Amino acid sequence: MSSKIIIWIKAFRLFTLPMSLSGIVLGTLLAASTNTFSLYVFIFSILTTALLHLVCNVSNDYGDAVRNNDVGDRFGEVYVRYVQDGLLSLKETKMMIIYLVIAACISGTLMILFAFGFNLTIKHFVFFAMGGFAIFGAVAYTNGKKPYGYNALGDASVFIFFGLTTVIGSYILQTGNLEFTILLPAAALGMPIVGLLNNNNIRDLDSDPLVGKTTIAQLLGIKKARIYQFILISLTFILSSIYVIINYSNVLQFLYLLSLLPFLKYIISFYNAKTEIEYRKLEELLPICVIIFSILFGTGFLL
């Protein structure tokens, strides 16, 4: 494998993918619990979401590099600033974003056609519009004259795109219908995803002001941002429990409570974290917690 391919694989930050793919898994499992499942829709949902996530990751690096905004110490190979350090040029990074967007559009189109058929309906156009909005959101996070990721809107955006949209979208793609209460598990999943961003924003509390970046963590301050993190994780289980109680039929629906164990491990590590490298290590732990929660919650309803 060439060194350039290895660099791209590392720059993609594949370890973050569970944060978006977990929503597809959860929405699909909940749909399957109603005896509705399409393998093709699931495959293209996973592929499309993964591609959009990579668009987001690469676009963020590109935007930070253009502004020379990725400052501060870096620890080890994992945290190399691939674009700013010259391992990837701005030109080839921009081309990669274009390639990923094209691939996401093709995959997303196939996903929608397999879900709703080849005769165009309002559902087709709604999901095409959602896809366009998702691409815009991924690119505009750190790019453009006024990137919203620099104006304390990051938390809201990841909650919408990685929480609500993935769960609700995959559920509708599978079933063709929207059940109002599906908002509860969708919001529950979105909370720890916001938590990952908050984790990173706490890590960057000293460096973000230097580049004109405002985050919720910065507005709250370190103490309140830590409390905010605990509230986010707590809401994951509160909202999930409400959904289970509303739709209760079997004790297996509480299977998701087993995910409390890895989440507790994360919370303990989070409150003990003091340095940038300690917060960075938590970036890989929280996505694992989220995918475990997603699988257990969906499986509990499927069983």
Domain ranges of the chain: 3-302
CATH of domain 3-302: 1.10.600
| Residues 256-271, mean pLDDT to the nearest whole number | 97
Mean pLDDT, the chain, integer: 91
Whether 61 and 82 have beta carbons less than 8 Å apart is answered as: yes
| Residues 265-284, mean pLDDT to the nearest whole number | 92
Distance CA 232, CA 284 (A): 18
pLDDT, tens digit, for every residue of 73-126? 443 333 445 666 667 888 899 999 999 999 999 999 999 999 999 999 999 999
pLDDT number for residue 146: 83
* Cα dihedral 17, 297, 35, 119 sign: negative
Name beta bridge partners: 214.
Answer: 151
Q: What share of the chain is helix, strand, coil (3-state, %, to 5)?
A: 80, 0, 20
pLDDT number for residue 145: 81
Q: Would the pLDDT of 285 be above 50?
A: yes
Structure confidence at residue 156 as a pLDDT band (50, 70, 90):
very high
Among the ranges given (9-13, 61-65, 184-188, 225-229), the one the predictor scored with the smallest mean pLDDT: 61-65
Whether 225 and 217 have beta carbons less than 8 Å apart is answered as: yes
- Residue 286 identity: L
**pLDDT greater at residue 149 or residue 38:** 38
**pLDDT greater at residue 78 or residue 130:** 130
Distances in Å between the Cα of 101 and the Cα atoms of 135, 136, 146 are 7, 10, 21
Structure tokens at 182: 């599906």
- The pTM (predicted TM-score) of the whole model is 0.92
Distance CA 303, CA 300 (A): 5
Distance CA 29, CA 174 (A): 10
